Structure 1
Amino acid sequence: MPSQTALNAQEILKADFQTLVADTEKLLEHTASLAGEQADELRDQIRESLLRAKETLKVTEESVRLRGEAAIVATEEYVQAKPWQSVGIAAGAGFLLGLLLTRR
């Protein structure tokens, strides 16, 4: 399972990307009042870029979700195959974390 820091970074990246897309959509709406062939070309380019960005975000999100699910399955299989080792690892990690927290 991904660490909390990685999850936070992913959420921040996703939020920033969605903000960028929303701002670009607003810009596209504001340029609608512009006239001329160049303005039409610019709007078309922005629209295509937005569609590509949204698709990339969907693909990336799906990829991250699938990798997360695979990690969960692998972890569950490992814990079921080697329960005592898993308990030992968890106890060791808890002990180290306890040592670190009491030193502060």
Structure 2
Amino acid sequence: MNTKSETLLDQSQDILQEAEQLLVEASQAGGKDAEALYARAVERLRSAKTRLVEVEQVAVAKAKQAAKVTDEYVHDHPWQAIGVAAAVGALVGMLISRR
């Protein structure tokens, strides 16, 4: 994962922890205080959701890029790809047979 994704995930975790604390405080408060705390918690949760969507978009873009590079490699080097696949298959087969 790249630095941007890690930063977004860290920020999202902080936001979720803050929202959780706000909801706890809202449950202990009463009246207008509870409403204000609840509204802040909801806003923090929306912010976390937005950041998590950004992380998802980055991850999807990286996965698509990796798939594209792999596809290009397989088309450019089909016999090497077959050899690697056969070697991996043999290795997996040996590991399974040991059980």
TM-score bracket, shorter-length normalisation: 0.5 to 0.7
* SS state at 2:91 partner: helix
Q: CA deviation at 1:102?
A: 1.0
Q: CA deviation at 1:35?
A: 1.1
**Structure 2: unaligned runs, 5 residues or longer:** 1-12
Query: Which residue identity lines up with residue 39 of structure 2 in the other structure?
Result: D
Instruction: State how far apart, in whole Å, the 2-side matches of 1:55 and 1:67 are.
Output: 19
Q: What is the 5 A alignment of 1:1-104? A: 34-36=30-32, 38-104=33-99
Which structure 1 residue ranges, 4+ long, deviate > 6 Å from structure 2? Answer: none
**Structure 1: unaligned runs, 5 residues or longer:** 1-16
Q: CA RMSD in A?
A: 2.3
Query: Which residue identity lines up with residue 102 of structure 1 in the other structure?
Result: S
Q: CA deviation at 1:97?
A: 0.8
Moved more, 44-53 or 87-96: 44-53
TM-score by length of 2: 0.66
* SS state at 2:31 partner: coil
Instruction: State how far apart, in whole Å, the 2-side matches of 1:92 and 1:58 are.
Output: 38
TM-score by length of 1: 0.63
